[in-house]
Structure 1
Amino acid sequence: MAHTEVTGPDPAGRPRAGKARASTTWLWPAIFWGGAAMALVPWAVRSGHRFAADPLIGTGRVAGILAGYLIAVQLILMSRVLDTRLLSVWHRRLGAAVFAFITVHIVFSTVGHAAGRSLADQTLRFLYGYPWLLAAYVGTALIVMIGLTSIRAIKRRMRYETWYYLHLYAYLGTALAFAHTIMISTDIKGIARVFWIALYGTALTLAVWRRIVRPVMLATRHGFRVSDVVQETPDVTSIHIGGRRMREFRVEPGQFLWLRFLTRNDWGQAHPFSLSAAPDGHRLRVTVKALGDHTRGLQEVAVGTRVVVEGPYGSFTAGSRANKDVLMIAAGIGITPIRALLEEMPPGTVVLYRARSESEIVFRDELDELARSRGARLVYLLDGAGQDGGAPVDADGRRVPEELTAPGLARLVPGIGDRDVYLCGPPDLVHRVTAELRRAGVRDRHIHHDPFEL
């Protein structure tokens, strides 16, 4: 089977990737830990001296404060104000911490107050004898439900639409838990109450701004509409979006947008899509694979359909790299941001594109032409079980590894440890290949993910 490995000189006058942006990865952890300290100081001043005498209740109170603080942080993360690489890691880790602290708060507080009564009796006393505790239990149940549905093994078995709408209950659950925190906690008084109101007020303001106000402003200014629909493969479609003053809409190759297509069936939900081509000042292009009800419906979206755009988001961009040389790895529909990024990458960039068969390769002609014009090396890795059969080979007929293992990557891409690596594909493959890249000598800070699926 013939596959094309295309290389060529870099054309004069084409854009080069800029220097990597200055790192601010220290800033957000500093703010996070500073906020946690501020949340705990009132407890330390008012109740800390009683901890030794009643450690169960003290532990329950500290856990409750930390749970409330982390819930507010999660809401801020959900507004997508942070770099998405940090967001994907923090959101996942903090979700587990919220669940743990809530459990400790409920169990330790109930046991500590029981004083010889049964736990069931004490729970009923809480529910009927303390204001806002019933609301807190309901809010906690909603937050726990959201946490459970975010576990990868469970999430994979759910329709995206179901998962999306369930997550909207995070706001209701948070409101109920917040009322409990503010109204009955003896540690949150005076200036401490001002801190908590400001914290949750900030989270709410950011959510409203990023999810409602700014998209409405963008829609008013640009009037986004579907301008063209192109069938790339039987189950992959590119959607072109045009509008007014498109040069003023700042978005970079590799970033993604949350798009809401205002059709009868799709207006109520937004989905993330990466750009599949660098913006040209006239229109944007996203490419969609039919994986669920929503994406199948978009295969036939009508030209002229209005689109609400939220974003752009993401640091999966050329400006994030620190090294001169680049490796990009794509699998399946993960080729979309890689295809856009290739327009800005330096000569000598290597692109590995894994697909099940040659018929499932998306943008074949565009990728070949870009590889020639950008001076890149492009290798297609096809599964031997694909309908076109055969072991994966490159243009010169050399065998390439069936799996993207550390030894295989090192053979295929000499000097891989000195490259920035951009990786996009199905989550399981991304996690597996990330581990192999580390084994091959690539540093974590040089591995860039497109994380919107997280």
Structure 2
Amino acid sequence: MSTETAIARPSVRGMPALVLVLLYVALTFGPAFAASLIGDANAPTYWSLLGRVSGIAALAMFLMQFVTSGRYETISGRIGLDRSMSFHRVAAYGAILMVAVHVTAFVLRGRAVWSFDRLWERFVAYLVDPAMLTGVVSIALALVLMPIAIFLRRGPLPYAWWRVLHGLLALAVGGFALHHSIDNARYFADPYGSTAIYALAFIAGLALGVVYLVRPFLAFRFGYRVTSVRDLSPSITELVLDAPGTSRFRFEAGQFVWMTVDGKHTITDNPFSIASAPAELPRLRFLIRKAGDMTRAVVGLKPGTRIGIDGPHGSFTLAEGGSGPLVLIAGGIGIAPVLSLLRHLVASGDTRLVRLLVTARTPADHVARAEIEAMAAGRDMKTLLLVKEDVGTGFEIGRCERKNVENILDGIDRSAATAFVCGSPRIMDTAVGHLLDLGLKPGHVVMERFDYDGAHDAISSALRRRLVALLTAVFIGVAALAWFVFSPENSGSGGHQDGETIVTDNNQRGSAGRGGGQGWGRPGNGEPHED
């Protein structure tokens, strides 16, 4: 079947998915649980205690966002950077929802009968309380951050500007929230919960330091420079990089890197799939469509220009495919990682059955046609090259339709086959739907996509359900912890019966303070009475 190449495979450094799930639950739910281990609840109502617990969890979830967005192989090495980034986006909704629980619970905290006027008065009182200022600002910035992250990611701002704005707003949200917690939250009176949050804040700060300070230096350590830039079609350019023979960069066929041009900060980097095989190392080849700021700039790169490389990333590799037949579907520039897989099969002597479907806008965009035909001549490989419009060059007109997918699946063992799909979101949604309908197993379909949180195919929908289930577990844990810690016999202690008074004078807040070691149940500096 296959032979070993002289190029060593990169080691898989990522943690298993189950370990990542347990870590996330521990780091988001854990600080609230730790804070409950000391002192008694002394909460007049369940809602009061739920407000405290959800506040801790919300802060922990926001701090974890800095870690899940940082392209760390420890997190994404096994599950894929696309999945970890999709979780980052879904978890952001969870953090906002946890903040909503935090605010709502405190508004409902009183023992008096609820009424809209009473609840509104209490809500406004929190908004105008000077002691709550940093908390209010943090929430307001988070509500600004969300639409910017969602709607401006692909324009109209340049990508680098969007990343800077996104990062600065996230830093402000986390910083104001942390200050609010230190200055107001009662749980900072105990050493367990506060230590857990300080540890998370340290990890978040470390993640920022790596992204903005360390990574710019590491990106150029492999010594890559531009060897050639040539147009393969009016819309596709091939970029070739070379490094000294001593370069330690390694990758698996199908992976991608984040690329930075000399003289620029890595905040401007962009992801590009490697089109070459590992056997060509240290040489790297890329196929780049002229579409965005970075891709258009590639055309003007001169030989000798230094290029920073961060990677490899991605799980679009043959390691996901076992030893059975391969079904490769590529749309447009999605041919790049698929071409890497094909070139690796040839270089390694892997003669397994291959079925290939490639769609492109024009015949000229089938830039690897001759090479693909040469590959197919010496192996059991059926190809179907489709174009939107034929201009007399012999290509078949069509898209990624069911009949075309069924065509390439004809005659193979679909229960043993693994499909690799890369292209536009629409092509991937369509292709995955056809593959599953035609008998491939969901676990045997590998995609390279970064929109799992918004994709419409069955596999992405299943992933979203698992991510939502994980976040739901955190919410259930928070609610259950508040209920478990709450002691009904303590509901008569302290406060006013109607629950309306908000004390804003720090001198009237009690003597425990943040270092008093009194746990949940004693007022700390700057926190309104939990009546």
TM-score normalised per structure 1 = 0.81
Within a 5 Å distance, the mapping from 1:283-302 to structure 2 comes to: 283-302=283-302
Matched residue type, 2:209: V
Partner of 1:86: 83
Partner of 1:187: 187
CA contact (8 A) 1:274 1:336 kept: yes
Residue 27 of structure 1 and its aligned partner are, at CA, apart by 1.6
Structure-2 change in CA distance of 1:187 and 1:441 (3 Å): farther
Structure-2 change in CA distance of 1:276 and 1:247 (3 Å): same
Structure-2 change in CA distance of 1:143 and 1:329 (3 Å): farther
How far apart, CA to CA, are the structure 2 residues paired with 1:426 and 1:318?
A: 21
Partner of 2:484: none
Are 2:258 and 1:255 equivalent residues in the alignment? no
Residue 453 of structure 1 and its aligned partner are, at CA, apart by 6.5
CA contact (8 A) 2:363 2:393 kept: no
Structure-2 change in CA distance of 1:336 and 1:76 (3 Å): same
Partner of 1:5: none
Residue 270 of structure 1 and its aligned partner are, at CA, apart by 1.2
How far apart, CA to CA, are the structure 2 residues paired with 1:318 and 1:401?
A: 28
Q: Per-residue CA shift, 1:28-79, capped at 9, x if unaligned?
A: 112222333412213544688566x424333333332222222222211111
Structure-2 change in CA distance of 1:13 and 1:114 (3 Å): closer
Residue 247 of structure 1 and its aligned partner are, at CA, apart by 4.2
Specify which of 10, 21, 41 is matched with residue 29 of structure 1.
Answer: 21
Structure-2 change in CA distance of 1:126 and 1:154 (3 Å): closer
Partner of 1:106: 103
Specify which of 42, 64, 67 is matched with residue 73 of structure 1.
Answer: 64
CA contact (8 A) 1:136 1:176 kept: yes
CA contact (8 A) 2:216 2:266 kept: no
How far apart, CA to CA, are the structure 1 residues paired with 2:316 and 2:398?
A: 26
Are 2:332 and 1:335 equivalent residues in the alignment? no
Matched residue type, 1:216: F
Residue 125 of structure 1 and its aligned partner are, at CA, apart by 4.5
Within a 5 Å distance, the mapping from 1:153-168 to structure 2 comes to: 155-156=153-154, 158-159=156-157, 161=159, 162-168=161-167
Aligned with 2:268: secondary structure?
coil
How far apart, CA to CA, are the structure 2 residues paired with 1:30 and 1:293?
A: 39
How far apart, CA to CA, are the structure 1 residues paired with 2:85 and 2:60?
A: 18
How far apart, CA to CA, are the structure 2 residues paired with 1:239 and 1:136?
A: 48
How far apart, CA to CA, are the structure 1 residues paired with 2:38 and 2:436?
A: 48
How far apart, CA to CA, are the structure 2 residues paired with 1:430 and 1:114?
A: 54
Specify which of 383, 388, 393 is matched with residue 391 of structure 2.
Answer: 388
Specify which of 438, 441, 444 is matched with residue 440 of structure 1.
Answer: 438
CA contact (8 A) 2:316 2:448 kept: yes
Partner of 1:426: 424
Matched residue type, 1:259: M
Specify which of 89, 93, 112 is matched with residue 96 of structure 1.
Answer: 93
Aligned with 2:357: secondary structure?
strand
Partner of 2:464: none
Residue 424 of structure 1 and its aligned partner are, at CA, apart by 0.9
How far apart, CA to CA, are the structure 1 residues paired with 2:47 and 2:323?
A: 52
CA contact (8 A) 2:83 2:450 kept: no
Structure-2 change in CA distance of 1:187 and 1:213 (3 Å): same
Matched residue type, 2:405: L
TM-score normalised per structure 2 = 0.71
Matched residue type, 1:256: F
CA contact (8 A) 1:143 1:174 kept: no
Partner of 1:209: 210
CA contact (8 A) 2:215 2:266 kept: no
CA contact (8 A) 2:45 2:110 kept: no
How far apart, CA to CA, are the structure 2 residues paired with 1:271 and 1:236?
A: 16
CA contact (8 A) 2:324 2:417 kept: yes
Structure-2 change in CA distance of 1:204 and 1:342 (3 Å): farther
Range with bigger deviation, 288-297 or 102-111: 102-111
CA contact (8 A) 1:11 1:374 kept: no
Aligned with 2:187: secondary structure?
coil
Partner of 1:6: none
Structure-2 change in CA distance of 1:286 and 1:200 (3 Å): farther
Matched residue type, 2:25: W
Structure-2 change in CA distance of 1:247 and 1:343 (3 Å): farther
Aligned with 2:186: secondary structure?
coil
Matched residue type, 2:447: H
CA contact (8 A) 1:85 1:449 kept: no
Specify which of 409, 418, 441 is matched with residue 413 of structure 1.
Answer: 409
Greater Rg, structure 1 or structure 2?
2
Aligned with 1:79: secondary structure?
coil
Structure 2 gaps, min length 5: 453-531
CA contact (8 A) 2:149 2:166 kept: no
CA contact (8 A) 1:215 1:309 kept: no
CA contact (8 A) 2:107 2:119 kept: no
Partner of 1:178: 178
Are 2:187 and 1:196 equivalent residues in the alignment? no
Q: Per-residue CA shift, 1:65-116, capped at 9, x if unaligned?
A: 2222222222111112222243044223212212222223234334547986
Matched residue type, 2:135: A
Q: Per-residue CA shift, 1:107-140, capped at 9, x if unaligned?
A: 433454798657477446455431xx43333333
Matched residue type, 2:102: H
Are 2:360 and 1:355 equivalent residues in the alignment? yes
Residue 425 of structure 1 and its aligned partner are, at CA, apart by 0.9
How far apart, CA to CA, are the structure 1 residues paired with 2:238 and 2:147?
A: 34
CA contact (8 A) 1:322 1:446 kept: no
Structure 1 gaps, min length 5: 1-9, 394-399
Structure-2 change in CA distance of 1:418 and 1:56 (3 Å): same
CA contact (8 A) 2:86 2:450 kept: no
How far apart, CA to CA, are the structure 1 residues paired with 2:361 and 2:180?
A: 53
Residue 331 of structure 1 and its aligned partner are, at CA, apart by 0.5
Aligned with 2:287: secondary structure?
strand
Range with bigger deviation, 289-298 or 435-444: 435-444
How far apart, CA to CA, are the structure 2 residues paired with 1:191 and 1:283?
A: 52
Partner of 1:274: 273
What is the identity percentage for the equivalent residue pairs of Structure 1 and Structure 2?
Answer: 22
Equivalent residue pairs, number: 429
Within a 5 Å distance, the mapping from 1:30-45 to structure 2 comes to: 30-45=22-37
Matched residue type, 2:96: F
Let me know the Cα RMSD of the aligned residues. 3.5
Aligned with 2:64: secondary structure?
helix
Aligned with 2:359: secondary structure?
strand
How far apart, CA to CA, are the structure 1 residues paired with 2:212 and 2:257?
A: 12
How far apart, CA to CA, are the structure 2 residues paired with 1:328 and 1:50?
A: 62
Structure-2 change in CA distance of 1:296 and 1:177 (3 Å): same
